[in-house]
Amino acid sequence: MEFLFATLQQTIAAYAWPMFRISSMLMVMAIFGASTTPTRVRLLMALAITVAVAPMLPPMPQEDLLSLKSAIISLQQVLIGVAIGFVSLMLMQIFVLTGQVIGMQTSLGFASMVDPSSGQQTPVVGNFFLVLTTLIFLSVNGHLVMLRMLIASFDSIPVSTSGIELGSMRAIAEWGSYMFGAALTMSLSSIIALLVVNLSFGVMTRAAPQLNIFAIGFPVTMIGGLIILWLTLDQIMGHFGEVWQSAQVLICDIAGLQCNLDGVP
């Protein structure tokens, strides 16, 4: 009887702990972790992936599933999955921030919509960049690359009481500053162009004070903003490639993987 109970525990552990790590990543990952994705769909996806990859994973530790040590192991798997999925979320927010900055500078920020990933109201330009980045992320198989890294992390970070190193946690926090810097870099040309437009209006107001600058400036700024937005889209693939490569390197650092210069394990 005890032998059957121990065998049952090992069978449950072989699927439960990998599912904790996989489902945690899907819970916070961009696109799949959005509020528009039903919870039942995420659960079924995590279950299907776990059943597919569990036989190929290293052996699980032989621990009592009802012990404190097993609870710590489960918590570590959740933290690893959340950390890896959170990187993709920050990747998407780089382009959302870029759209917000451009939208506010071009007077397009007054129109707001609900961001499907966070449920908060953001400018329409930010939502446009979010949808565009989502399509690019899926077209380059970013979700499959992240899943591949997650499966490879079971070899580099085995299921145990140890999890993400302190240096990797610090790298995640530092990548937050990179997120704001990348968003500013992408929107800097638009900011400078709109600054020139506003300076031109200032010169016009100084030269002809009788002109109603608000009646003239608002439509001109909006049209100029749309043109600048159109010109900005030409370089979005290059920006995405650079940011995605940096995100892959960060995921490799978190998962303890040996990656090449392109961030591919």
Taking CA atoms, 218 is separated from 35, 80, 128, 225, in Å, by: 35, 48, 22, 10
Q: Is residue 262 part of a domain?
A: no
**Domain tally, the chain:** 1
Q: Is residue 44 part of a domain?
A: yes
**Domain, as residue range, for 45:** 2-255
Q: Is residue 264 part of a domain?
A: no
pLDDT one-digit tens code per residue, 136-161: 998 988 888 889 999 988 888 888 88
Instruction: Answer yes or no: pTM beyond 0.85.
Output: no
pLDDT one-digit tens code per residue, 88-141: 888 988 988 888 888 777 766 665 655 555 556 666 777 888 888 889 998 988
- 77, 111 in Cβ contact below 8 A? no
Q: Is residue 261 part of a domain?
A: no
Q: Which of 146, 131, 112, 174 is nearest to 34 (CA)?
A: 131
Tokens of 9: 């525990």
Q: Is residue 48 part of a domain?
A: yes
Q: Is residue 260 part of a domain?
A: no
